[in-house]
Chain A
Amino acid sequence: MVSKRQSTHFGFRSVDAGEKAGLVRGVFDSVAGKYDVMNDLMSLGIHRLWKRFAIELAGVRPGQRVLDLASGTGDLADRFADLVGPSGLVLMTDINAAMLGAGRDRMLDRGHAGNLAFAQVDAESLPFPDDSLDLITIAFGLRNVTHKEKALASMFRALKPGGRALVLEFSKPVIKPLEKLYDLYSFHVLPRMGKLVAKDPDSYRYLAESIRMHPDQETLKAMMEAAGFERCDVHNLTGGIVAVHRGFKF
């Protein structure tokens, strides 16, 4: 099956499956420096509330082992490292060296030491033993992953029984009028902001397009169930612009 050429989405374009990772890397190499500023701007600061909501659903306890995938600059990892306490461990990871570097600098600036580790990791093939982690999170990362099923299966495998996975990701607005407005925002306002602030409209156009191509709530939930997750639930935030999917391994 490896020899067969498969195509996948890169935003609205159809590309070779083998090509996508490189294209995604280009996007994040380009935005790494301005990532935090853009995050606040683009979401009007609401991404903080989305993350806060996900953190409560994560139910992290002291002493736990947490893996954060596609960490970027580490908003989730930063909080988890405080919640697991000195006896816990948070693994902050990203496939992209530039993003991970930016994130690592930020975490070291904040004085994290001892319970936070960094590694370059591809969500599709996790280099962790079976049944080894209490929680795996991926925030605004899954839509960039070429083979999402592989990533979900890999997450399931590495979780301890009793552990859980959380996917925080853009989703499909459940309020009709909101959808139109959201299109206007994503395809007109966003790339221009990207041009003004990050000097990179194409990367932000990709962001908007990749959001639209990402599986909707029901589809992603079914994918998680297919990967083995149980008691999956979906929480729509801001009218479904963003959703948290949660699944357990028992």
Chain B
Amino acid sequence: MSLRDLALEGLEQTLNRILDLDPDARVRLAALHGRVIRIELRGAGIELNFVSGHDGRLQLLGTVEGPPDCTLSGSPIDLIRASDKTEGPAQLFAGHVRIDGDTALAQRFSEALAGIDIDWEEQLSHMTGDIAAHEIGRGVRALQREGGRVGRSARDNLSEYLTEEARLLPHHLEIEDFLRDVDTLRDDAERLEARIALLEGRMGGDKA
């Protein structure tokens, strides 16, 4: 269990909260119940496996056993662009994003997600929290090489995210470390205990 799980949980919750507001997307995704769609972020060494639920909510798994039904792979920027409503299809067919396996499924999945209002850049940046720094560097350099094709601001934003998050994330998310930081936690637990005692006192007082 690691940062990765926490990031997956976070992204999954965000995605589903957004999907809850978009019944149309959910209906389309529900038709894919049980199908495994893998997204590979080239350069970042990250893979995400999406499984559609009966109700069109998504589960996100870091690993699955056996082959997925389809795989979409590309640089983060290409994938982000592919998820764009207007640019997306062109991006897919221009070959920036590679599709393996069930192509029709990949397309249905992208189309279902194309309309939802989510900041993929920010979301993907959370996924980079536990990969080695040099891998992030590599990803950023790869992005920079692709600069000609990519909108300048998008590239800059993403690089910034990747580098900044690399420092920022552990800070927010490193639960395991937090738990190991026993002194702090002990203080917290004692404070919590005191607070509960206080609350109990107050509740007792109310009744009396």
Name B61's contact: one of A56, A111, A177 (CB within 8 Å).
A56
Q: Answer whether A178 and B182 are a contact pair too, CB < 8 Å, given A84-B34, A192-B193.
A: yes
Q: How far is the CB of A122 from chain B (nearest CB, A)?
A: 28
Measured in the bound complex, the distance between the Cα atoms of B4 and A52 in whole Å is 11
Contacts of A193 in B (CB 8 A): 196
Shortest CB–CB separation between residue B7 and chain A, in angstroms? 11
A82 B180 Cβ-Cβ under 8 A: no
B192 CB–A CB distance under 8 Å: yes
Stretch from B50-58, B135-143, B152-160 forming part of the interface with A: B50-58
Q: Quick check: is A237 within 8 A (CB to CB) of the other chain? A: yes
* A185 interfacial contact with B, CB 8 Å: yes
Instruction: State how many angstroms separate the Cβ of A233 from the closest Cβ of chain B.
Output: 15
Chain B residues closer than 8 Å to A52, beta-carbon distance = 5, 8-9
Complex alpha-carbon distance, A239 and B52, angstroms: 32
**B6 CB to nearest chain A CB (Å):** 6
- Who on chain B is nearest to A61 by CB? B66
Q: A17 at the A/B interface (Cβ < 8 Å)?
A: no
Asked, given contacts A81-B54, A196-B199, whether A181 binds B186 with beta carbons under 8 Å apart, the answer is yes
Residues of B27-56 contacting chain A, CB below 8 A: 33-36, 51-55
Interface contact B65-A61, CB-CB below 8 Å: yes
Within 8 A of B (CB), among A213-243: 237-239
A interface majority secondary structure: helix
The answer to whether B144 has its CB under 8 Å from any CB of chain A is no
A184 vs B55: C-alpha distance when bound (angstroms)? 42
Partner of B200, one of A50, A79, A196, A237: A196
Q: Tell me if B90 counts as interface (CB < 8 A to partner A).
A: no
State A36–B176 Cα separation when bound (angstroms). 23
In the bound complex, residues from chain A placing their C-beta under 8 Å from that of B192 are: 189
CB closest residue in chain A, given B64: A59
Q: How far is the CB of A65 from chain B (nearest CB, A)?
A: 14
The listed residue (B33, B63, B196) touching A196 by CB distance below 8 A is B196
Q: A86 and B33: CB pair below 8 A?
A: yes
In the complex the two chains form, is B189's CB within 8 Å of A181's CB?
A: yes
Q: Are B54 and A111 in contact (CB under 8 A)?
A: yes
Give Cα A111–Cα B197 distance, bound, in whole angstroms. 41
Instruction: Give A contacts to B, CB under 8 Å.
Output: 46, 48-50, 52-53, 55-56, 59, 61-62, 79, 81-88, 110-115, 175, 177-178, 180-181, 184-185, 188-189, 192-193, 195-196, 237-239
Q: Can you name 24 A-B pairs with beta carbons within 8 Å?
A: A48-B9, A49-B6, A49-B9, A52-B8, A56-B61, A59-B66, A61-B66, A62-B35, A82-B59, A83-B59, A87-B34, A110-B55, A111-B54, A114-B54, A178-B182, A180-B186, A184-B190, A185-B189, A189-B193, A189-B196, A192-B196, A195-B200, A237-B1, A238-B1
